[in-house]
């Protein structure tokens, strides 16, 4: 018959006091170590989804971003510049928000500056009805009714050289939510709003901030195209003006 256990320690009574003390001490150390490990794990910071700041990368629009954000303008990336740019990127939804002064971030400064009054100093006429204004020089689009802005400015990509988006007055004559290009390998054109002989305002899954331009359409980010789709109706006016700036090599 096995020896009975000591009710105070749970150890067999036949063990010597020294052995009991050793086993008890080891048990306490094990419990203490496990508790410490759990506490340390609980205190570990959760990994952040925010990308690391590109403090060692000077972007092609470094000076423009420094000037807009009130940083020291020297055209060289610093940790202070990077944090300021990253904060702006997070606020404006620029991805990746890594503090790099690239084209997408610069273009969003153009949007931000125009937000309060996008039509001031431009050629977009004020009318009683809705007018979708497309400013090719600034690569912006907004919707106004009279002097009231219905949809604030958003970035666009208009036609490349020899495939220019047609300037002047147009009307939305056809809308199709799920559309594909018949000319360009079935490229997706979600939320299409046609306004001039096959040219349309539509969303694109591609990066609108890169490349030479569209094939004539007014490209929008998908989230912006949804807003335009809900706002613009058949027969609404579209006014396109200005000239798309030449594309810089680093933006291709």
Please give the positions annotated as active site.
202, 217
Do 204 and 219 contact (CB within 8 A), yes or no?
yes
- In whole angstroms, give the CA distance from residue 156 to residue 138: 9
Distances in whole angstroms, Cα of residue 135 to Cα of each of 13, 121, 173: 92, 11, 20
Residues 6+ positions from 4 with CB-CB distance below 8 Å: 12, 13
Tokens 């002064």 belong to residue: 101
Tally of CB atoms within 10 A around 139: 24
């Amino acid at each position: 018959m096995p020896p009975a256990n000591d009710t105070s320690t749970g150890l067999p009574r036949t063990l010597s006091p020294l052995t009991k003390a050793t086993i008890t001490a080891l048990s306490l150390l094990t419990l203490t170590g496990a508790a410490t490990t759990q506490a340390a794990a609980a205190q570990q910071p959760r990994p952040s989804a925010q990308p690391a700041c590109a403090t060692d990368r000077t972007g092609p629009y470094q000076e423009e971003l420094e000037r807009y954000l009130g940083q020291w303008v020297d055209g060289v990336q610093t940790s202070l510049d990077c944090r300021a740019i990253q904060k702006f990127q997070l606020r404006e939804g620029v991805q990746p928000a890594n503090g790099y002064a690239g084209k997408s971030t610069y273009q969003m400064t153009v949007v931000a500056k125009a937000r309060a009054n996008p039509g001031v100093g431009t050629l977009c006429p004020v009318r009683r009805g809705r007018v979708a204004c497309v400013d090719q020089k600034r690569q912006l689009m907004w919707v106004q009714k009279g002097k009231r802005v219905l949809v604030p400015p958003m970035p666009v990509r208009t036609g490349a050289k020899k495939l220019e988006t047609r300037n002047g007055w147009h009307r939305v004559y056809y809308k199709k939510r799920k559309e594909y290009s018949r000319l360009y390998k079935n490229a997706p054109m979600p939320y299409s709003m046609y306004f001039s002989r096959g040219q349309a305002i539509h969303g694109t899954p591609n990066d609108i901030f890169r490349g030479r331009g569209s094939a004539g359409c007014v490209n929008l980010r998908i989230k912006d195209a949804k807003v335009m789709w809900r706002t613009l109706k058949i027969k609404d006016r579209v006014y396109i003006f200005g000239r798309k700036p030449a594309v810089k090599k680093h933006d291709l």
